[in-house]
Structure 1
Amino acid sequence: MGGTLEAQLQPLREKIDHLDTQLIRLLNERAAVAHEVGEVKKGFDAPVYRPEREQQVIARLQQMSTGPLRDEHIAHIWLEIMSASRALEKSTTVAFLGPVGTYSEAAALDYFGNSASGLPCPSIDEVFRSVETGASEFGVVPVENSTEGAVSRTLDLLLNTTLPITGEIALPIHHSLLSRSGALAEVEIVCAHPQALAQCQRWLSTHLPKAERRAVSSNAEGARLAAEDSRIAAIAGERAASHYKLQTAAPMIQDDAHNRTRFYVLGGTPPLSSGADQTSLILSVKNEAGAVYRMLEPFARYGVSMTRFESRPARSGSWAYYFYIDVEGHRDDAKVADALHALTDQAAFVRIVGSYPRAK
């Protein structure tokens, strides 16, 4: 192909400009229709946000697409389109474990889009309280990490709240070591959430064996401290690095390359079935032989797959336990409904915490 670079690029740029003109017109038309949907919902006092509907929209577009955009590209693009459309109807406030720059904030924006308003909270307890009191519409809390396991405080609070779980996020966790100078040799103290310290312990032992490891309330708090003291490095992500103007002393320091954290979305209207759902339960049984087997038997009988099983002490002094269980399917799906009905005869305590679209 002959000609200068500019001569070859010019017709392609004109084509992109033409396509962008069509896109902006169509996006505004879409936003106008979404606004009409919002007006209809107001008349029926229906919720603005329906996660199962948004999942279905994205899944349909992914199925239609012939590329070159990949499924994850389509999901991110349409998440932001729908987030902006929701914001035209009503601002969505989402509480998360703060301060600004935490992975909880990243999870919240990954789920609700950047048009949502974030409300940083000093603790997981405050995230629950914010949604319970109406200070925020939704809350995002960590529930388990693929390396370190369950987040115990979240499980304990789920037992005593009436908030439903209405969604989940599975976020890849890429830890970086951040400091003011970005010089590894200057690091004397490493500040991070206890789970982040645990997730990077092998790297820290190899590269910073003499550095003090100091546990703080969140990785973003560690980043804030690092911004104030050149001796301190934080373990955190890109959002914290940008917000606190820190340099990367070492990227990707997590011991497990596939490290992920799962978050629950709390609050809002319980979603209808999306076709790709999960149901979370809290159960307890009498302290007698075979009780746990009888509790789980209905899932096997009706062909319901169990994807998670955790236990927590009931704190009653009698060695009793609560069991936190996730199963595939929505509570309204026939086989899940049958299993739950049978379960009520076997368990001493049953709480359906939520049925919601499963994280991709």
Structure 2
Amino acid sequence: MIKMKPERNSEMSMADLRKKIDVIDAKLVRLLSDRAKITQHIGEIKTKGNKPVYAPDREKKVFDKIKGLNRGPLSDESLVAVYREIMSGSLKLESQPVIAFLGPEHTFTHQASVQKFGHSVDYSPCQTIGDVFKDVENGRSDYGVVPVENSTEGTIYFTLDSFIRSDLKICAEIVMRIKLDLMSKENSLKSVNRIYSNQAVFGQCRKWFAAQMPGIDLIPVASTAAGARMAASEKGAACIASGIVSKENKLKVLARNIQDSVSNTTRF
């Protein structure tokens, strides 16, 4: 058997292709800078006209337009993700908005907030739904993100009551697919004797618990992120949360997608 040396032509071909990518990247940076300057000018016009900086209708039109222009090979989802961050950076250039959300970080509400506003804006985690409303009402934050309804558990009535009592208005919605994992420091389900999570999350996994861990001690806490911290610090403890939480808290995923409905969604 003879080990073949790589052909020089293929090496040159890769080098040439990378040079083409470098040229395209340089053009993209220039075009993005031009776009950002126009965005700044639009922001000035909005400020003078006392108009809201965030325009969800315009955002939807942009996303629909780029999906219509897309001919691949990037998927529509990938292209929208790129533009989400471009528009997030533009939004910060226009007004540096602060987004209040039901925290702490890495909860589903936090993930929904980033899904809508991107990573460039500033976020303000709040302990309760009521605190999110207060943050926006008092001007500490420009927008707030709160859960409204889950496809399994139904309406979150405290959120609706808060809207009734407040002068704040709904300006956009976020529909997010909720996937729930069981995670722990332990190596197996047999070593788990209690599980922490948000009460609403427990309700979304009733059938799984009845079939896989009947009688297990379910302990409600303020958020999925709080449950993850408990699971990370206590022997025999586990939590239910999203996959990103396992990485942040160095937990092992013992069971994936334990939600009762494969189409489990929450509207924010």
Q: So what's the TM-score if we normalise by structure 2?
A: 0.91
- Structure 1 residue corresponding to 2:33, chosen from 28, 31, 40: 28
> Secondary structure of 1:165's partner?
coil
- CA separation in 1, counterparts of 2:109 and 2:159? 13
Structure 1 residue 207 displacement after superposition: 2.4
Matched, 1:123 2:125: no
Counterparts of 2:15 and 2:181, CA distance in 1: 41
Distance 1:56 1:38 in 2: 18
Stretch of structure 1 that moved more, 226-235 or 68-77: 68-77
Tell me what 1:178 maps to.
Answer: 183
Distance in structure 2 (CA, Å) of the matches to 1:98 and 1:237: 14
Deviation at 1:213, TM superposition (A): 1.0
Closer, same or farther in 2 for the Cα pair 1:16/1:142, shift >3 Å? same
2:51 match: secondary structure: coil
Distance 1:112 1:130 in 2: 17
1:256-291 C-alpha deviation (Å, 9 max, x unpaired): 11111001xxxxxxxxxxxxxxxxxxxxxxxxxxxx
**Which residue identity lines up with residue 101 of structure 2 in the other structure?**
F
Match of 1:217 among 213, 222, 225: 222
* Count of residues in correspondence between the two structures: 263
> What percent identity do the matched residue pairs reach?
39
Matched with 2:148 is 143
Tell me which of 93, 99, 117 is aligned to 1:94. 99
Q: Which residue of 1 aligns with 2:24?
A: 19
Letter in 2 for 1:247: K
Give the whole-Å Cα distance in 2 for the aligned partners of 1:20 and 1:181.
46
Q: Any unmatched runs of 5+ in structure 2?
A: 1-6
Q: Say whether the 8 Å CA contact 1:181–1:247 is kept in structure 2.
A: yes
- Asked if structure 2 preserves the Cα contact closer than 8 Å seen for 1:188 and 1:210, the reply is no
**Does residue 220 of structure 2 align to residue 228 of structure 1?**
no
Note closer, same or farther for the CA distance 1:255–1:181 as it changes in structure 2 (3 Å cut).
Answer: same
Point out where structure 1 has 5 or more consecutive residues left out of the alignment. 264-360
Whether the 8 Å CA contact 1:192–1:222 is kept in 2: the answer is: yes
CA contact (8 A) 1:102 1:239 kept: no
1:251 matches 2:252: no
TM alignment of 1:43-192, pairs within 5 A: 43-192=48-197
What is the deviation of 1:236? 0.5
Secondary structure of the structure 1 residue equivalent to 2:147: strand
Question: What is the SS of the residue equivalent to 1:166?
Answer: coil
Residue pair 1:182, 1:246 contacting (<8 A) in 2 also: no
Alpha-carbon distance, 1:162 to partner: 0.8
Aligned counterparts of 1:171 and 1:249: Cα–Cα separation in 2: 23
Alpha carbons 2:186, 2:236 under 8 Å: kept: no
TM alignment of 1:206-355, pairs within 5 A: 206-263=211-268
- Which residue is 1:301 aligned to? none
Match of residue 205 from structure 1: 210
- Compute the displacement of 1:200 (Å): 1.2
Deviates most, 12-21 or 187-196: 12-21
- Return the offset for 1:197: 0.7
Matched to 1:105, the amino acid is H
Per the alignment, residue 352 of structure 1 pairs with: none
Distance in structure 2 (CA, Å) of the matches to 1:256 and 1:67 = 32
- Superposition deviation, residue 103 in structure 1: 0.2
1:321-359: CA deviations, max 9, x gaps?
xxxxxxxxxxxxxxxxxxxxxxxxxxxxxxxxxxxxxxx
Separation in 2 of the partners of 1:42 and 1:149? 39
Deviations 1:187-224 (A, max 9, x none): 11111111211111222222222421111121111112
- 189, 192, 196: which one aligns with 2:201: 196
Residue pair 1:143, 1:150 contacting (<8 A) in 2 also: yes
- Structure 2: distance between partners of 1:127 and 1:242: 27
In the superposition, relative to structure 1, how do residues 8 and 252 fare at CA in structure 2: closer, same or farther (>3 Å)?
Answer: farther
Post-superposition offset of 1:4: 7.4
1:82, distance to aligned residue in structure 2 (A): 0.7
CA contact (8 A) 1:106 1:239 kept: no
Amino acid in structure 1 at the alignment position of 2:51: A
Calculate the TM-score normalised by the size of structure 1.
0.69
Q: Tell me the SS of whatever aligns to 1:261.
A: strand
Distance 1:119 1:153 in 2: 20
